[in-house]
Amino acid sequence: MTAKIAFQGELGAYSHQACIQARPSFEPVPCRTFEDVIEAVRTGRAELAMLPVDNSTYGRVADIHHLLPASGLHIIDEAYVRVHINLLAPKGTLLAQVKNAMSHTVLLGQCREFLTEHGIHRITGADTAGSAQHVAEVNDPELAALASELAGDIYGLDILARHIEDHDKNTTRFLIMARDIDLKRRGNIGMVTSFVFRVRNIPASLYKAMGGFATNGVNMTKLESYMVDGSFAATQFYAEIEGHPEDRNVQLAMDELDYFTDKISLLGVYPADPRRR
Q: Summarize pLDDT for 183-212 with one digit per residue, the tens.
A: 888 888 899 999 999 888 778 888 888 999
Residues near 193 by beta carbon (within 8 Å), at least 6 away in sequence? 240, 241, 242, 243, 244, 245, 250, 266, 268, 269
Give the model confidence (pLDDT) of 24-47 as tens digits.
999 999 999 999 999 999 999 999
Q: What is the CATH number of domain 4-82+170-178?
A: 3.40.190.10
Domain extent listing, the chain: 4-82+170-178, 86-161, 191-276
DSSP state of 276: G
Specify the pTM. Answer: 0.90
> What value does the mean pLDDT take over residues 126-143?
96
Tell me which CATH homologous superfamily contains domain 86-161.
Periplasmic binding protein-like II (3.40.190.10)
CB 64 within 8 A of CB 75: no
| CATH class, 191-276 region | alpha beta
**Is the fold of 4-82+170-178 the same as that of 191-276?**
no
Nearest of 189, 213, 193 to residue 74 by alpha carbon:
193
* Catalytic annotation, residues: 172, 174
Give the model confidence (pLDDT) of 147-168 as tens digits.
999 999 999 999 999 999 998 8
Give the model confidence (pLDDT) of 76-109 as tens digits.
999 999 999 999 999 999 999 999 999 988 889 8
